[in-house]
Every structure is written in structure tokens, then in C-alpha cells.
Structure 1
Amino acid sequence: MHSNPQQPPHGYPPYPQTVVVQKKGGGCLKALLIGGAVLMGLIVLGTALKSGGQNDTQVSRAETPEHTTQTGKPRKPQAPALGDVVKDGKFAFKVSKVEKGLSQVGESFTVSKAQGQYVLIHLTVKNIGDKAQMFSDSAQKLIDAKGRTFDADSGAAVLGLKDSNAFLNNINPGNAVNGILLFDVPKDIKLKAVELHDSVFSDGVTVSLAR
């Protein structure tokens, strides 16, 4: 009787099964090559994007030199000044001249004397809306270098200035008037700006008077 070589003799435990492990070196090498190619692609793409972003920044700065200083810092926008046309609501304003140092205005019975000095703001007011609008000097403000605001002296302007045209003047659409705003301010004042409004309720627009 021949014994089965696959079976152990009677009474003995069965032989352990032999497990054959095959090394798949070819598959590992293939995966390694694919991973390396992907990594190289990402590096090349990142370099291209980085260089492209740098070029865009340089072009942007070169195209807008007027908005930056020599140090590369953004320029502050300049405030409107004498001769510039500014708009608020239905009115367009143009300040043409500033007079300072007047001790009085008017003649004879219409004379008005300043507490400090009179400052006269000459301007043109044009109605750019589609309805008539009332222009009043009481809605306008003068600002000094300390940030203080001054109201117009309507009474002195009406009595002492023949061409003031700034007290409750109704202006029709498309029409313009030349007016004078009169302010009674300290003698040592340093003017900064005049704030112009189409009404007492508007946001207003500022024209620089600093020199």
C-alpha cells in the first residue's frame, strides 16, 4: 500500500500548506515611473504659473504709472481746486477766485463790517438737472486748516455785494449764474476748502483752497 505523499501518516497532523509569493517587480517599477512623471508635470506647471503671475504684475504697473509714485506706492487722488468743475446734485460749480482780508463790504447805509475779516468766494453755478433748483449761500461751508467750518454771512452779502446772486436764487435747467459767497472769519485763518451743496440736504463736494 502506497502512502499519499500529500497526506501525513495516520495519527500525525496535516502538513502545513505552502504559499508561493510571486514578486511583481515589473508592476512596482511601472507605478514608480508614473508617479515620477506626474510629479515632474506638477513642478513644471507650478513654475509656469509663478512666472506668469510675475509678468502680469509688471505689466499692470507699467500700464498705470500715473497711479503710483517712484517708490511704487499708490498716489493719493488730488482734490478739485480753483478752476475745476465739480458737481453736487443738480448743480455744477466752478470756483474762479478767492478774496481775503476785507474789513467791510458795501457803502454808506449798506456797509457791513467784519468781526474778523471777510473772505469772498467767486463761483459759477449751473443747473445741470431737469427742474429748477434754488441756490442758497446758507447751504455752503468754508473750512480752515484746523478743520473748523464757517457759515456764510447772507445779510452782509445781500446788503454789501451787488453781484452776490447767492441768496435764494432760483436757477432753471441749463442756466448758470455768477455768484459770490461771503464769510466772516478770523484774521489769522488758513483756508483749506469750500464745501458746496445743491441743497442743505445734499452730501456736498469739496474744492481745495490751500496754496
Structure 2
Amino acid sequence: MTFPHDPNQPQPSGQAPYGQTQPFAQTPQGQPQAPYGAQPPHGQPYPQQPYGQPPAKKKRKWPWVVGGVVVVLIVAGMVGGGDEDKSSTTAQSTSSVAVAPPAGANASLEAVAAPVEPATSAPEPEEAVPGIGQEVRDGKFGFVVTGVETGVATLGDNPYLQKDALGQFVLVSVTVTNVSDKAQSYFGSNQKLIDAQGREFENDAMAAINLEAETAIGGDINPGLSQNITIVFDIPVDAVPATLEVHDSVFSGGAEISLQ
């Protein structure tokens, strides 16, 4: 049989009066709280966080670490900058000291510093063109000019073959020699005359017939034989013969003989 509890009777130590709940003791800040659902030991309060007070925050150490690194870098930069300033100052002071060269060294230094100009070779002299009395060769023929006559107005005694110059006739006497081992045909039409102005003139074969009918047009010359031929050109009265261009054939390169 149970009897109602008398509230006036004293309660055992650690228990609240009948009808009242005994709160747990408050735990200081930073101590662990009671796990959820855990009961304190019989008759003892379990520490717990006061109601309404936020849990304590842990202090973060990384801002202090980063700040320390920044300070170290600044100090290192200041020390390094001081060294650079010292080194630059030392370099400036060193470069400002001028050492006087020994006597006679200026001339040597100027000689060394002077640019060396490349040696220029002298232009090769132009090869002189053979003149009257000198032999030139083209192909199988050798040519030697033996004389030049200018200012001729008319050629020929035969009234039917006689020819008057439009300007003036120039008669060039040439000895033609076959220097090969076979017969070669010579043609007066292959020969050219060039005046002092660079103008080129053709052979006048019809006028040359009045002088030498057999050689005026041309013919074969055997090996080792020579033939005297007069080449006739009709040029302006004021023109000055300068060069005779002789050819072994119409396809040859030709050779020049000075007529002055």
C-alpha cells in the first residue's frame, strides 16, 4: 500500500522537492554538453550548456600564420633592396673612376677602333680591240684590215654598172685567210660597219662589183689560202667609220676590228 508523498518531509540529498524538477547544473563555457538523450547519474547533475547561449567558436590560427609569412616577406624584401642599393652604389662609384691610358695608347686605340674598309680591286682594263694590220679570227677565217678609204662618191667606169653613193662610199681592204683544214665559203653580206655613233651598216655588194666582180658577192676559200677583198659600205657624209665587224658565217659570233 502506497501513501502519497508528503511534500513537507525532507528529500534525500540531490533530489528536488516533490512536484519540482531539479535543473542540471550549468556547465562552464568550453566544457562538453550532455549527449542527446543521455541521463545524468542518479543524484548528480550533468553539465550542460546554458539555454540561449551559443556554442563557443574555435579560434582560427591560419590568419596569424598568413600574417607572419607576409611580415617575413616584407622584411626579406627590405633587406634585399638594401643589398641592391649597395651594389648599385658600388658599381656607380667604380664606374666613375677613370684610369688614364698610357702615353701613345690613344693612337693605338684609334687605329684599332677605326673601321677597316674592304680592299677594292682595281677595275680590269677593257681589252683593246685589234686595229688595222692585226689579225682577228672568227670561225674558220682570219681577217686582217690592210686599209680604209672614205669619201668616195662614185664607183665604176662602166656607165651601165657605175653606182653613185647616196652619202659616201667607204672602202675597207681586207685579207681573208682560211685557217681551217676544209674549204669555207666567204660572203660579203655577212660583214658589218659601225660608225662612231654606234649605227650599223650593211655591205653594198652592187657597188663592190665595180671594183672586184669575182669577190664582191663571195666564194669558197680553200684551207691555208688567202684572198684580198674590198668591202664597200654606203654611209652618210658626216658619218665616221669606227669598227668593222667580221663574220665567218651568218650564224657566227663575229669579231671586231678598229678602223681608227
With the shorter chain as reference, the TM-score category is 0.5 to 0.7
- How many corresponding residue pairs? 140
Aligned residue runs from structure 1 range 131-170, under 5 A: 131-158=182-209, 160-162=210-212, 165-170=215-220
Shift of 1:164: 6.8
Superposed CA deviations along residues 133-183 of structure 1, whole A, max 9, x for unmatched, are: 11111000000111110000001111x113772422210111110000000
Q: Distance in 2 between matches of 1:145 and 1:89?
A: 26
**What's 1:4 paired with?**
none
**What's 2:143 paired with?**
93
Aligned residue runs from structure 1 range 179-190, under 5 A: 179-190=229-240
Shift of 1:77: 1.8
Aligned 8 A contact 1:164 1:180 in 2: no
Shift of 1:73: 5.2
**What's 2:171 paired with?**
120
After TM superposition, the score normalised by the length of structure 2 is: 0.51
**What's 1:192 paired with?**
242
The change in CA–CA distance for 1:102 and 1:136 in structure 2 (over 3 A counts) is: same
* 1:76 corresponds to which of 105, 113, 126: 126
Q: Distance in 1 between matches of 2:158 and 2:173?
A: 24
Q: Distance in 2 between matches of 1:199 and 1:167?
A: 13
Aligned residue runs from structure 1 range 105-116, under 5 A: 105-109=155-159, 110-116=161-167
Aligned 8 A contact 1:194 1:206 in 2: yes
Structure 1 spans left out of the alignment, 5+ residues: 1-56, 58-67
Q: Distance in 2 between matches of 1:166 and 1:204?
A: 20
Q: Distance in 2 between matches of 1:205 and 1:90?
A: 12
Shift of 1:192: 1.3
Shift of 1:75: 2.8
Structure with the larger RCO, 1 or 2 (CA within 8 Å, 6+ apart): 1
The change in CA–CA distance for 1:121 and 1:204 in structure 2 (over 3 A counts) is: same
The change in CA–CA distance for 1:164 and 1:141 in structure 2 (over 3 A counts) is: farther
**What's 1:176 paired with?**
226
Aligned 8 A contact 1:163 1:180 in 2: no
AA matched with 1:97: G
Q: Distance in 1 between matches of 2:135 and 2:253?
A: 17
Identity across the alignment (%): 42
Q: Distance in 2 between matches of 1:164 and 1:142?
A: 21
Q: SS of the counterpart of 1:165?
A: helix
Aligned 8 A contact 1:136 1:169 in 2: yes
Aligned 8 A contact 1:116 1:185 in 2: yes
Q: SS of the counterpart of 2:189?
A: helix
Comparing both structures, which one devotes a greater share of its residues to strand? 1
After TM superposition, the score normalised by the length of structure 1 is: 0.63
Shift of 1:79: 0.7
Structure 1 ranges of 4+ moved more than 6 A = none
Q: Distance in 2 between matches of 1:141 and 1:164?
A: 20
Aligned 8 A contact 1:164 1:179 in 2: no
Q: SS of the counterpart of 1:187?
A: coil
Comparing both structures, which one devotes a greater share of its residues to helix? 1
